[in-house]
Every structure is written in structure tokens, then in C-alpha cells.
Homo-oligomer: A and B are copies of this chain.
Amino acid sequence: MLSKNQAKKIRALHRKKNRREQGLFLVEGEKMVVELLASSWPIESLYATDEFAQTHAPAIASKGINVFTATTNDLAASGTLVTNNAAIAIARIPAEKPLTPSMDDWVLVLDSINDPGNLGTLLRIADWYGIQQIVCSPNTAELYNPKVINASKGSFLRADVYYAVLADYLQSLPVGTTVLGAYLQGENVHAFTPTSQGGVLVMGSEAHGIHPSLASYITHPITIPAFGEAESLNVAVATAVICDNLRRKKND
């Protein structure tokens, strides 16, 4: 059983203000907590069922963290998942690494992606396509929002996520950097061949697209060709399709 104070401590981290002040966030559910334990990410404490604690005793011991026994009801009542029969970890928010424009791979730049589920799905897509650096506009959803963490399915562990004023970031890129921007009317991405090993891919929100103030930084407006009548694709879906095009060998 969790004590009232323990449940309160977990519930406090549903709120951004408390995550900021305490430098802590939640990682929930068996698969995600197992991935967290296997990573080098700093963990503050763990609330887990007896079964989870026993099954993963070696991993937990190796991290030297406090484990508190919780029932599945405790976990569902204090966490954000509807059901949770395994564990909730409280993890530490690490210091943000300095954002250095390194252009030997692709960087994903997200403009105003305020839906946390979309951001989490985007982290998973970036992880699938081996894109490590993700630069978000300040009004993009907060990385440590439980909905982002849950939708990322563990991919948050492998992403370097930065928040920056995008005009400043794009301005700071080395001259000659390829900056792709997804538009409804641009060059067909099927025909686009990157001239370098990397660059920047800018994605805007479905509702508003890329902010007009960023247009001057885009060296290549690109478009996913449509073969039917839908007006647009969801931003996560569009990002995956473009990444697939960037990663494919052009002679395939």
C-alpha cells in the first residue's frame, strides 16, 4: 500500500509546475519502467507491485534506488494510466545539454506541436529512423508531460530534445545546411535527393503549418505527393513518410 504522502507525491507530478520545481517526472507501466531501469537515466524512486519488484530485483538493485510496494489500485489511482499492474518510477529531469548545430546527420525541428500525444509519437518515429536531435519551438508540448512520455513508448530515453526559438536556431546553422520544410506545395519528396548526409527537417502543426517567419530559412520546401483527396496528413504520419524518404537509398 502506498501512503497518502507517497500517492500525493506521484500525483503532484501530473502538473508541469511541480515537475519544473522538483526536477522530477513520471515513467509508468511495465515496459517503460523496465526500459528505464536498463538505461543510464537517473531514477529517484520506484513504486511497484511485489511481482514487478521480484521479477526485476537485479535491475533495481543495480540502480541503488528506493522501492516502495504498491497495489495495482494504488498505481492506477496515483498515476496517469487507466490501468497499471506493474510500476511507476519517479525519474530525474537531466540538465539540458548545450545545443550544438552538428550537421552530419538529420535533425528534426518541430514548430508549435502542442499536442502531447503527437510529440510522443514523433519521438518514437525519430527513434525508429535514428534521428537523435529534436529541436522544439518553446510552445511545443513539454517533453516530461506524462502523455508525451507514454506516447513515446520509451523513445524519450534515446532522444536529445531541445527547446529553442526556432528562428535563432535556424539562423545559427552553418551556411549551406540543407533545411527541408514540409509544405502542401513543395518539391515532391519522392524526387528529392539530399546532397549531404544530413540537415534539418522542419515540421509545422496540421492547423497552422510552419510559421511564415521561418520560411526564409527553408532551403527546400518539400511535399508528400497525394494520390487521393484527403487534404492533409497528421504531422506524425507526415514526418514518418518524409524520414522514410530521407533514409532510403535512392537507388532502391
Partner-B contacts on A (CB < 8 A): 121, 124-131, 153-155, 158, 188, 190-191, 224-234, 236-237, 240-241, 244-245, 247-249, 252
Contacts and interface: CB of A to CB of B under 8 A. Distances in A.
Contacts of A124: 230, 233-234
Nearest to A191: B252
A129 to B, nearest CB: 5
A155 B128 CA distance: 28
Count the copies. 2
A112 B247 CA distance: 30
Given A190-B252, A252-B190, A237 B127 contact: no
Contacts of A224: 128, 244
A138 B56 CA distance: 38
Contact of A228 (B158, B234, B236, B248): B158
Nearest to A239: B237
- For the complex of A and B, the 9 pairs showing the least CB-CB separation, nearest first, are A130-B227, A130-B228, A127-B230, A128-B230, A190-B252, A237-B240, A127-B228, A190-B248, A241-B244
B225 A247 contact: yes
Contacts of A130: 226-229
A216 B241 CA distance: 29
A212 B124 CA distance: 26
Given A158-B228, A190-B252, A191-B252, 7 more contacts: A121-B234, A128-B227, A158-B229, A188-B252, A237-B237, A240-B240, A240-B241
Contacts of A252: 188, 190-191
Contacts of A129: 226-228
Contacts of A154: 230-231
A50 to B, nearest CB: 26
A88 to B, nearest CB: 21
A124 B240 CA distance: 15
A237 B190 CA distance: 17
